[in-house]
Amino acid sequence: MPTRKDYLRGPRIDPRPVTGKETVPELVENAFLAYNAGRLAEGCRLFTERMLEPEVTVGMSLTGAMTPAGLGMSTIIPLLEAGFIDWIVSTGANLYHDAHFGLGLTMHKGTPFIDDVALREEGVVRIYDIFFDYEVLLSTDAYVREVSARPEFQRPMSTAEYHYLLGGYILEREQALGITRKSVLGVAHRCSVPIYTSSPGDSSIGMNVAEQALAGSQLRFDVSADVNETSAIVFAAKVSGGKSGVLIIGGGSPKNFVLQTEPQIQEVLGISEKGHDYYLQLTDARPDTGGLSGATPAEAVSWGKVDPDQLPGMVVCYLDNTVGFPILAAYALAKRKPRPLKRLYDRRGAIMRQLTEAYLEAKADRDTRAEAATGGGAP
C-alpha cells in the first residue's frame, strides 16, 4: 500500500512568475500545474513524448465546428504535414466547411450577440461568432455536385476514397487561385492521410450526393468499407509490433468510430487484440450526463477499446477545444521533429489484405473448435 511519502513524491508547486517572454512549451511546463491546465500539460507530454514515437500510428477524431473557426489551417494542417496525424475520422460538416477555404471563399469574425432575423434578411449565415455569405453555401454545394458527377466517382466507395478524390480537385482549385495550404482535404490528399466520415449522410456533402442519387448517380458511400479499413489501419499498426494512439477532439460519432476499431477486431472479427495503447481526449462534455459517449478511458477498457495495461497512457482534458487543441499542437511542433509520413491511404490495399487474412484464419480456427465441440456432426 502507498505510504504518505509515496503520495508526496510529486514535484512541488513552485512556478516562476510569468514574464510574457515564454514559449508555449515553457508556459505549459511552468504554469499549467493543476486542474484542467494540469491535464492539458499531461496531454501535451503524452502526445509529444509517447504518441509521436515512430512506431505509433495516430488516429484523430474531429467534432464540433472546428474548421469554420480556422483550426483546419492553424492547427490540423501543420500536424498533418509534420506526420503527427496518420488518419482521421471527422464529421462531414467539418470537411464541408473546410472546402470553403480551399475554394477561395471567405468566412469572417462576427459576434454571437446579434439579431439572427436581420442576418437572414441580409443573406448572412452565423456559426456562433462566425459570419459568412449565404452564397458560400450555394457555391460549395455546386462545386461538390460538379466534382461528384465526374466519371471516377460513379461507383460505391469508402468515404476515404471520396475525400481523397475531392481533396485532389480542391488542390487543383487552390493552385488555380494562387492559394496554398487552406484546406485539410487538400493537404490530406497530398500527404495521403485517409479521412473517414462516420455518418456520411449527416452533412451538406452527403446531402448533395443524395440529391445526385435521385438523378441517377452511381456514387454510393460504402460504410462497411469504412468500418473495415479503419480497423485494418489499427490492426496493421499493432501486428507489425507498433502501437496505436487516438487523439480525440470532442466526442460524438467520430470518437466512437475511432475507438470501435478495437472491438471490431476483437469481438466481431475474432482476432486476438488488447485495445488502443494511447488515448488523449480534449472535450467539454461530462460522463455523468451521457455526453461523453460512454467512453472515458477506464470505461473503454470494459469494451476492449483501450488496452488495460496502458491506462497510464490515457488523458482526458475537460476544456474548450478551440483553446486546448492549438496549445497541444504548438507544444508538439515545438518539441518534436516531423515524422516521416506513413501515407496510409496509399497502403489501404495491402493493409486490408492483412486484416482479411487474419480474419479468415481466426474464423477457420473458430469453426474447427465449434465443430470439435459438437462432435463433428450435424445436430
Instruction: Encode the chain (379 residues) as per-residue pLDDT tens digits.
Output: 889 999 999 889 999 999 999 999 999 999 999 999 999 999 999 999 999 999 999 999 999 999 999 999 999 999 999 999 999 999 999 999 999 999 999 999 999 999 999 999 999 999 999 999 999 999 999 999 999 999 999 999 999 999 999 999 999 999 999 999 999 999 999 999 999 999 999 999 999 999 999 999 999 999 999 999 999 999 999 998 999 999 999 988 999 999 999 889 999 999 988 788 999 999 988 777 776 655 676 676 666 666 666 556 789 999 999 999 999 999 999 999 999 999 999 999 999 999 999 999 999 998 888 888 877 655 4
- Write the DSSP symbol of residue 296: -
Cα–Cα distance measured from residue 49 to residue 79, given in angstroms and rounded to the nearest whole number:
15
- CATH class belonging to 39-365: alpha beta
Q: Are 235 and 265 in contact (CB under 8 A)?
A: yes
pLDDT for res 275: 82
Other Cβ atoms less than 10 A from the Cβ of 368: the count is 11
Cα–Cα distance measured from residue 331 to residue 176, given in angstroms and rounded to the nearest whole number:
34
Among the options 238, 255, 305, 335, which is catalytic? 305
Express each pLDDT in 129-179 by its tens digit: 999 999 999 999 999 999 999 999 999 999 999 999 999 999 999 999 999
Cα–Cα distance measured from residue 262 to residue 275, given in angstroms and rounded to the nearest whole number:
5
The reply to whether 243 belongs to the active site is no
Type of residue found at 296: T
Q: Are 62 and 80 in contact (CB under 8 A)?
A: no
Q: How many CA atoms lie within 13 A of 117 on its CB side?
A: 0
Strands ordered across the beta sheet of 195-196: 195-196, 87-90, 56-62, 243-249, 278-283, 314-318
| Prediction pTM value | 0.93
Q: Which helix (H) or strand (E) holds 109?
A: strand 108-109
Locate the domains of the chain by residue range: 39-365
